[in-house]
């Protein structure tokens, strides 16, 4: 016979899993205009490149510092128009999840929580630097995480053991 779970047991299980943002802060901010003021005189189409990186440090049992680094580089021809980098960080308490679910939460929910703050900071930096508004599109961190896990699994199956780090 299949064992049925009572509504009370299901509720207790759901209450046991917790995801809490304890602190949100800007760890580092940088904005560079290496070719100013000449860059404002140049004509042409600016090419924008964005890079994402993530670092996770375990501060205590179930408490993680997650630092999402967003770097935007704008080039006008061979010259760098600007370089904006924001390290948006948060301290997250995650409990009641198994190791795999915690790993997924740290690499999806945490950067998803941090990205809007980093995006706003980048937008403000670019505008304050004298450039037209920059609108960064939302990022699907679930898709990035799934792709990274599939790549790690393919490498593990193909060439021995590989340790998967907590980076997005």
Give residue-wise pLDDT tens across range 58-75: 999 999 999 999 999 999
Query: Looking at the predicted structure, is the pLDDT value of residue 25 above 70?
Result: yes
Answer whether 145's CB lies under 8 Å from 108's CB: yes
Q: Give the HSE-up count for residue 67: Cα atoms under 13 Å, Cβ half-sphere.
A: 14
Q: Given the structure tokens 């990274």, which residue do they identify?
A: 148
Domains of the chain by start residue, with CATH? 17-157 (3.10.420.10)
What is the reported pLDDT for 48?
A: 96
Distance CA 23, CA 1 (A): 47
Whole-prediction pTM value? 0.81
């Amino acid at each position: 016979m299949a064992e049925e779970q009572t509504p009370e047991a299901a509720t207790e299980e759901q209450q046991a899993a917790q995801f809490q943002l304890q602190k949100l802060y800007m760890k580092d901010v940088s904005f560079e205009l290496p070719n100013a003021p000449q860059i404002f005189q140049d004509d042409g189409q600016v090419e924008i490149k964005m890079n994402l990186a993530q670092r996770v440090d375990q501060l205590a049992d179930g408490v993680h510092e997650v630092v999402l680094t967003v770097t935007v580089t704008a080039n006008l021809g061979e010259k760098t128009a600007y370089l904006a980098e924001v390290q948006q960080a948060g301290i997250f308490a995650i409990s009641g999840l198994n190791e795999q679910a915690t790993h997924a939460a740290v690499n999806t929910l945490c950067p998803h929580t941090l990205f809007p703050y980093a995006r706003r900071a980048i937008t403000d930096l670019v505008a304050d630097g004298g450039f037209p508004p920059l609108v960064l599109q939302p990022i699907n961190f679930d898709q990035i995480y799934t792709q990274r896990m599939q790549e790690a699994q393919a490498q593990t199956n193909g060439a021995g053991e590989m340790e998967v780090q907590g980076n997005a």
